[in-house]
Structure 1
Amino acid sequence: MTMEGSSSGAKRSCPKDQFTDLVLSWSLKDIFDDNLYKYQVEKIPESFQSVDQYLGSYVFPLLEETRAELASAMETVYKAPFSEVISFCELKHNELLSEIKVDYWRNRRSDHGGEAYRTLPGDIVLLSDSKPETPDDLQRVGWTYTFASVVKIADDENGDSSTSSSFKVKTAKQIDVGDGLRKSLYVVFLSNMTTNKRIWNALHMRRNLKIIEKVLCNNDLGEENCEFYAPKCNNQMEEKFGPDLFSKLNESQKEAIQASLFKVECNHKSSVELMWGPPGTGKTTTVSILLFTLLKMKGKTLVCAPTNVAITELASRVMALVKSSSSAESEKNFLSCCPLGEMLVFGNKDRLKVGPDIEEIFLDYRVDRLIECLVPSTGWKHCVISMIDFLEDCISQYNIYVDNERIRTKESLEDEITQKPELIKSFLEFARDRFAHIATPLRESMLTFLTHLPKRFLLEQNFQSMMQLVSHLDSFEVLLFEDCSMTPQELESIFLQKGMIGSKSVLDKLSLPYIRNQCLSVLRSLQYSLDNLRLPLVTSRFSIMDFCFQKASLVFCTTSSAYKLHSVDMEPFNLLVIDEAAQVKECETAIALQISDVRHAILVGDECQLPATVSSKILDAPSVQSQSYEKCYLKGRMFGPYSFINIRGGKEQLDEVGHSRRNMVEVAVVMKLVHKLFKAWNGSKEKLSIGLISPYAAQVGAIRDKIKQYENHERFVVKVKSIDGFQGGEEDIIIISTVRSNRGGSIGFLSSPQRTNVALTRARHCLWILGNEGTLSKSDCLWEALICDAKDRQCFFTADEDDDISKTIVGVKKELEQLEDLLSGESLLFKNARWKVSFSDNFQKSFQKLKPSHVKKLAINLLLKLASGWRPKKINVECTCKISSYIVKQFKVEGYYVVCSIDIMKDSVYEQILKVWDILPFVEIPKLLKSLDSIYAMCTDEFISHSKEKCFEGGAVDHLLSGIEGREVDLPFEVTDEGHKIILFARSSFILSRSGTGKTTILTIKLYQKLQQYSIASQDSILHQLFVTVSPKLCYAVKKHVSQLKACSYSSVITPNFSTLFAVQVPGCCSVGLAR
């Protein structure tokens, strides 16, 4: 096998069918040469002298972009999808075409999740005798390779290219493999160039230039309106299309639709309209109503957008309007059927994420349904003929059935078959079974035609006849199956009747004979009329596809996919609508703008991205700002319609390639929010859609890996995409993960106002932003203003305000071994501790060096115990310093010692805090103690005295019962909110209430809590407490309560060894004593 790297090809422009040849002519050196087109790529001018200059100005920028994409793909070739070739066959020697069969694809999924790789036409692949890990591998001596382009995919019956697959490729150089594959050969996917190839062809074709010339011509800015068409006022529009539709719009939106319709009705000259407005001002709603109106006007419109998400969203909006309008008519006709034949969506099913909301207008689905109806052996014609035969000759069919059954029974007896013969059905049973067998596919065929064929193609009479037939079939079925009194003889007499039966009353019209005659009449009529419609023959799937394109009047697709329409023989489009126009590459619009005979174009976009020279502006920001959301999905102010949730302690990290970033703390918080939403939603019948957005692919991948458990819920939909991927989409709740968390305020392309606009306007009801306030506030961009605005609106929250989220953050920090970030008095761990904690710089430096990693966790656990008020009875190592011996304490953690002291901090008052100096091996302790001795030698006696003072007031804690290591534990019995306040009240109390309200329980807890606090704060003193009551029975109950409290809080702090419970008999009363 011999292969060589391609030599550098010509750098000049090539004919439109030579784009792939030009790309394949690049050598590896060309691909990595940033200056390959340096002198050909020029700044795009603001004005042009001709269409050729305009289109030609994008040729070399397109080539440079293609080269850069291939260079980027080569940089990450080590993780690219690849497979091993098991069969290689050269097809046409001169054309360098070969057929390849591979075993299976590895690395089908990227690190960032997303769709699994599938081989597609337009793929640029690397054919190599070994699997390269870096581009430098290809330069090694003896390494052979070449580039190739996939030109055709063999039919894959399983629809899964993870299995062995075959495809044809066009190679850059001839491949000599000799007799069979004597050496290994690998195929490595690099990039798909289909869109770039389509753009290239569009830049070199000169077809319909009306709109492009209109855009380039500056003399029409002051052009007068067409004199043949006068714009309709709002009242006329509402009369024509219904007041309910236009009642959803404000005045500016109505004016935008009116101006657009006025221009579209003019056939004398081309026009280009811009419809623009800031995010959230109702552009999508306006465009959907405009398209619905155009659909009613029988115009032929092509709708494009840069992303599949935007197309799906817009198509589903229009479809919802069509179904809503159709449902009103269906109520009158008592038949639920929505004609959708004039709407069509086409493109890649996986990327479009075709769901139930647009499935009925998706091209592949429609083709499948029509093929079922048009197949001669089982299609509509067969069903109609079968039903006519049944209704006319059911008796003769029954007689044939009886004869066949008797013959079968006789043959069974002659063959001495012991199996019991089946009983012959009665005429009534036979008729019911036969009708159900024929009516089901006939009904489905009629409903398919009603749904998937345009009404104007079917003609009104046929449309009404089909609906009548479906209604008659339903009525006939009800009468045939539900009339329990009917006998076989009565039914046979009905089928013996010939001709039409005159109706004498309304009851006659509901009778079985009448419905039978009506069915026959409609069936004969449809048999003749549908034959004359020239329905397509099922010669191939492509013929049905062409039929669907030809009959649709409202077509949705991406701008790139519109290229397919250049090769379809169909009636020309009158109007082109490009949604999210600001996101489309200008050169890419040439694909759609040159479609045959398109006369008018409407571009829809954001005012921040489109120029302000427009004829209609959709701007209703005040109504958007004042919009109030009624839906509340989670309890708490943090989870209202708009929240900025400050995530402290997150850490941004580069992915393995170093191209993207992720923040695993934010990933964990996102997952916790989704879990809380699922828990709140579970059991609800309403549909809830959640969009998880991040600007970074690595973050999207990390979230997608965690979210798989919520994928298979029909009414709980979670979508994870980048900001660009959500362009044009909309969900009930949007959660944005901003990722960036650093001290310098660097946020990269997150500072792009365009991306921010998209992210902030995707939510229907709730928008929750996760980010680091410190980083985003220093970014010197609109994020700073956004955070200030959130604070002004009182929509700014800190993540640790929610206990669940706080625990989640701490858990993920421990899991990721990012414990250093928790060493702060204001961190989530220590913020609400009983003792305020201050960490020295030396401690933090020493902590980072601790090994093994589990020692860090042990040190953190010890500090948490100390912060909660716990102190051991014996200090691990005696202090050797002099002055600080009563202040400085040492606590052992495996082979290290944590050195702490009591310090005084001035806030509103002076208070004691826990100062953590260092964590060191034993041999380094004396040096530190000597240094601390010098520090405390300069302190006053008063400072030392205050540092040694011990306090055990009840106000020092914020919970009722402490357990092991000072942590809060639940009480063994319930306490009311008012009782909770009394227990925490530190001074003398007088409690007055009725019997049975829990007074004894409250007093018992207060006694035991005081004992706990005293045992923590004191080492040598004795605390005596006395509980006096007048009832021996109550005295027993108190002792039982105390025993329960001790069982709940049993720990090294309070044990039976030093806590005593005793009873004292006092004349006239009973008492319980607790002593330490």
Structure 2
Amino acid sequence: MSGGDEDEFHSAEDTDTMGAVASYWSKKNMFALGHLECKVFSWSIRDIFNRDLLRHQVKMIPDTFESFASYLNSFAYPLIEEVHADIFSSLDSYAQASFIEVIQIKKLDNKKPIFGLEVAQPTKDVKSREIYEPSDCDLIVISSQKPKHVSDLTRNKASYVLGSILKSGGEDEFPPSCCIVQLSSSIPVEADLETKMPEGPLFLVFLINMKTYNRIWKCLHMGPSDANIAQLQNKRSSDLVSMVWQYKPIVVEDAGFQLSQSSFHRSADGLGLEQFNLNDSQLNAVADCVLAMDNHSSSLKLLWAPLGQAKLRNVDTILWAMLVKGRKTLACAPTNTAVLEVATRIVNLVGRLSDGGVCFLNDIVLYGNKQRMKIDDGNILSAVFLDSRAKRLLPCFMPNTSWMHCLCSLKDLHENSPKKYQLYIEDIIEQEISKKDVHEDPLQACHRKDSCEQNRKEYEDKDNQTLTVQPFKHYLKDDYNKTFGNLYDCIDI
């Protein structure tokens, strides 16, 4: 193929990629910015770096609430403030942000700045920051230069262009390495009409992912319709929320408090909590949660402490106590990072503190999106990750590798080892006869088959050096090790 033909081939291939993105958009034009993204797009770069931007809008969250709606509404502006702080933090460390180059552009909407983009493959250099892979709900900066300093975005108004990833590649027949993005303003670089390639350098710089924030907002911001509030309140899953907003502080008498403290410490006996070096306040918090489980009472416990007061250690200790007591516990968090942190800590605890067989890794199951959690076979969490565990368990249920098959094979070896050894010798003799038959005249081979018993006797009468046969002791040991090894693999999972 000539050089010109090759260029023509790549051009056609690139056009097909953008054509597939455009076709997907025309069929499933159902993507739109959420309320939070619209709010973020309305902020200028100066607004982002203004710490007091929402100061007069964020109110103190009360201790008690008048209604379910007032409870939800009280968290709306604090959530917006948290988004603002997260973006501020990302832009503040803009020079360390991951990024990727854009290699093709196609405008998808005539009214809105929505574009289809194809990006380059992430580099495999561990020291490079050019590793960004667009994901749904990512908030990005689209720039004509690689991220070096946040001042790059403040030089002129056109430098600061935000984008939200509406759709990323890899699913629903959407082309890989492509994405659909809506921008806060026009794109900073034009694209060639034929090749769709940008006429200058163009990069996507990752800031934050908005998916968790959007989910929280969807729960909090029910809108002005009272029907929506009533619908949510009637759901069974809202029972826990109702316990929170209807909570009334209870005045505890000193005598009752002392009795409660005594119950706390009794409930914590035998759990080995002294290994965690908790102070009295932390120990009481853990014991309180354990006591609630022992009493089978439906209750809500809120752990609160200032920054740096080992709240995560308290969570670890509570989960450890639940494991020791054999309680089924579901630990949830709004982000994968938080889930992975808690899971890693509890897995390390089990490995370090359960020498006496108090609890095992088999008692822990981690589940979620494997790709986003980035759990590979070498990760310590692969031992408890649901998908990895199911993959390891699969051979235990296959006909020829199941634990029942291995157990029956081991039993058969113990009961019929002499007979199996005799069959082993006969098999070797048959193999030797077959090897010799290959080099013999067909008539001679036929004659040998007619006198099989005579041939076998001839081989048995020959010198021991003719055949390599293991002694019975070695045969039994090797077969046992192999059979037991397969069974052990099933048990060890």
TM-score bucket of the superposed structures, by smaller chain: 0.5 to 0.7
Deviation, 1:61, is: 4.2
Return the letter of the residue paired with 1:190.
F
- 2:79 aligns to what? 62
Kept in 2: contact 1:19–1:197 (CA 8 A): no
Specify the alignment match of 1:181 in structure 2: 196
Distance 1:168 1:268 in 2: 51
Deviation of 1:440 after TM superposition, in Å, equals 1.8
Q: CA deviation at 1:23?
A: 5.6
What are the superposed Cα offsets for residues 493-538 of structure 1, whole Å, 9 maximum, x if unpaired?
Answer: xxxxxxxxxxxxxxxxxxxxxxxxxxxxxxxxxxxxxxxxxxxxxx
1:695 corresponds to: none
Aligned to 1:446: 491
- CA RMSD of the aligned region, Å? 5.8
In structure 2, the residue corresponding to 1:171 is in which secondary structure? Answer: strand
Distance 2:272 2:154 in 1: 66
Mark the CA change 1:364 to 1:91 in structure 2 (over 3 Å): closer, same or farther: farther
Aligned to 1:439, the other structure's residue is in SS state helix
Q: 2:431 aligns with which of 405, 409, 414?
A: 405
> 1:170 is matched with which residue?
180
Other-structure match for 1:311: 342
Shift of residue 300, structure 1, vs aligned partner: 2.4
Would the alpha carbon gap of residues 38 and 222 (structure 1) be closer, same or farther in structure 2, given more than 3 Å must change? closer
Structure 1 pair 439–181 and aligned structure 2 pair: CA distance change class (3 A): farther
Aligned to 1:84: 101
Q: Of the candidates 118, 121, 124, which is equivalent to residue 139 of structure 2?
A: 124
Counterpart residue type for residue 369 of structure 1: R
- Equivalent-residue separation in structure 2 for 1:27 and 1:149 (angstroms): 14
Closer, same or farther: CA 386–216 of 1 in aligned 2, 3 Å = same
Q: Could you tell me which residue of structure 1 aligns to residue 290 of structure 2? A: 261
Q: Which of 383, 389, 403 is equivalent to 1:366?
A: 389
Residue in 2 that maps onto 1:326: 357
Q: Paired residue for 2:216?
A: 199
**What is residue 10 of structure 2 aligned with on the other side?**
none
1:34 aligns with 2:18: no
- Aligned counterparts of 1:153 and 1:183: Cα–Cα separation in 2: 20
Flag the 1:77–1:377 CA change in 2: closer, same or farther, 3 A.
Answer: farther
* Deviation sequence 1:767-812 (CA, Å, 0-9, x none): xxxxxxxxxxxxxxxxxxxxxxxxxxxxxxxxxxxxxxxxxxxxxx
| Cα drift, residue 443 of structure 1 | 0.6
Q: Which amino acid aligns with 1:43?
A: K
The answer on whether the counterparts of 1:126 and 1:190 sit within 8 Å (CA) in structure 2 is: yes
Task: Judge conservation of contact 2:413–2:480 (CA < 8 Å) in 1.
Answer: yes
Aligned counterpart for 2:327 among listed residues 299, 304, 309: 299
Output the amino acid matched with 1:263. A
The number of aligned residues is: 398
Query: Which residue identity does 2:250 align to in structure 1?
Result: L
Q: Which of the numbers 106, 109, 118 marks the counterpart of 1:100?
A: 118
- The Cα offsets for residues 179-237 of structure 1, whole Å up to 9 and x where unpaired, read as 5434457441221214433433443584633343333335342489x9xxx99847864
Displacement of 1:326 after TM fit? 0.8
- Aligned equivalents of 1:27 and 1:273: distance in 2? 31
1:86/1:103 contact within 8 Å kept: no
Question: Offset of 1:339 from its aligned partner?
Answer: 3.4
Residue 68 (structure 1) shift: 5.9
Q: Deviations over 1:643-676 (max 9, x none)?
A: xxxxxxxxxxxxxxxxxxxxxxxxxxxxxxxxxx
| 1:48 has 2:65 as partner | yes
Indicate which of 364, 385, 388 corresponds to 1:343.
Answer: 364
Taking structure 1 as reference, are residues 277 and 74 closer, same or farther at Cα in structure 2, changes over 3 Å only? closer
TM-score, structure 2 normalization: 0.57
Q: What secondary structure is seen at the aligned counterpart in 1 of 2:330? A: strand
Distance 2:102 2:423 in 1: 59
Instruction: Give the deviation of 1:101 after TM superposition.
Output: 4.8
C-alpha separation between the residues in 1 aligned to 2:427 and 2:109? 60
2:91–2:207 contact (8 Å) kept in structure 1: no
Q: Within 5 Å, give how 1:914-929 maps onto structure 2.
A: none
Partner secondary structure for residue 302 of structure 1: coil
Superposed CA deviations along residues 873-914 of structure 1, whole A, max 9, x for unmatched, are: xxxxxxxxxxxxxxxxxxxxxxxxxxxxxxxxxxxxxxxxxx
- State the AA in 2 paired with 1:366: R
2:454 pairs with 1:426: no
Matched residue type, 1:405: Q
Match in the other structure for 2:165? 149
The one-letter code of the counterpart of 1:270 is S
| Bigger relative contact order, structure 1 or 2 (CA pairs below 8 A, ≥6 apart) | 2
Q: Does the 8 Å contact 2:99/2:131 carry over to 1?
A: no
Opposite residue 299 of structure 1, the aligned amino acid is R
Residues 990-1005 of structure 1 mapped to structure 2, 5 A cutoff? none
Counterpart of 2:165 in structure 1: which amino acid?
S
Identify the residue that residue 435 of structure 1 maps to in structure 2: 480
Give the number of the structure whose alpha-carbon radius of gyration is greater.
1
Aligned partner of 1:1000 in structure 2 is none
Residues in 1 aligned to 2:279 and 2:360: alpha-carbon distance in whole angstroms: 29
Distance, in Å, in 2 between the alignment partners of 1:38 and 1:82 is 29
Asked whether the equivalents of residues 97 and 170 of structure 1 are also in contact (C-alpha less than 8 Å), the reply is yes
Q: Distance in 2 between matches of 1:359 and 1:340?
A: 11
Percent identity for Structure 1 against Structure 2: 20
- Checking the alignment, whether the CA contact within 8 Å between 2:138 and 2:206 is kept in structure 1 is yes
* Partner SS state of residue 272, structure 1: coil
Answer whether contact 1:74 1:190 (CA < 8 A) is retained: no
1:446 offset after TM fit, Å?
1.1
Give, in whole Å, the separation in 2 of the partners of 1:87 and 1:383: 56
Alignment of 1:685-700 (within 5 A): none
3-state secondary structure, aligned to 1:326 = coil
Say if 1:192 and 1:405 are closer, same or farther in 2 by CA, change over 3 A.
Answer: farther
Q: Among residues 233, 248, 261, which one is paired with 1:219 in the alignment?
A: 248
The answer to whether residue 301 in structure 2 is matched with residue 272 in structure 1 is: yes
> For 2:208 and 2:74, how far apart are their aligned partners in 1?
23
Q: Which amino acid aligns with 2:342?
A: I
Deviation at 1:123, TM superposition (A): 2.7
Q: Secondary structure at the match of 1:426?
A: coil
Matched-pair contact (CA < 8 Å) for 2:347–2:361: no
Alignment check: 8 A CA contact 1:344 1:362 kept: yes
Aligned-pair CA distance for 1:274: 4.2
Which ranges in structure 1 are unaligned for 5 or more consecutive residues?
Answer: 2-16, 156-164, 328-337, 416-420, 449-1076
Q: Deviations over 1:287-345 (max 9, x none)?
A: 65543443344332234679759626751564157613417xxxxxxxxxx63322234
Rounded Cα–Cα distance in structure 1 between residues aligned with 2:491 and 2:110: 52
Cα distance per residue 1:343-371 (max 9 Å; x no partner): 2345766699x976x66445565345334
Q: Which whole-Å CA distance do the structure 1 matches of 2:424 and 2:108 have between them?
A: 60
Richer in strand (by share): 1
DSSP 3-state at the match of 1:100: strand
Any idea what the Cα deviations from partners look like across 1:245-277, whole Å, max 9, x if unmatched? Answer: 679888777655543333334556433354769
Given that 2:146 and 2:203 are in contact with CA atoms closer than 8 Å, whether structure 1 keeps it comes out as no
Structure 1 residue identity aligned to 2:346:
A
Counterparts of 1:57 and 1:275 in 2: how far apart (Å)? 19
SS of the equivalent of 1:44 reads coil
In 2 relative to 1, CA 202–382 (structure 1 residues): closer, same or farther, beyond 3 Å? farther
- Give the structure 2 partner of residue 591 of structure 1: none
Matches within 5 A, 1:412-491: 413=439, 424-426=468-470, 428=472, 429-448=474-493
Residues 351 and 44 (structure 1), Cα distance of their counterparts in 2 relative to 1, 3 Å cut: farther
- Matched to 1:298, the amino acid is G
> Per-residue deviation at 1:445?
1.1
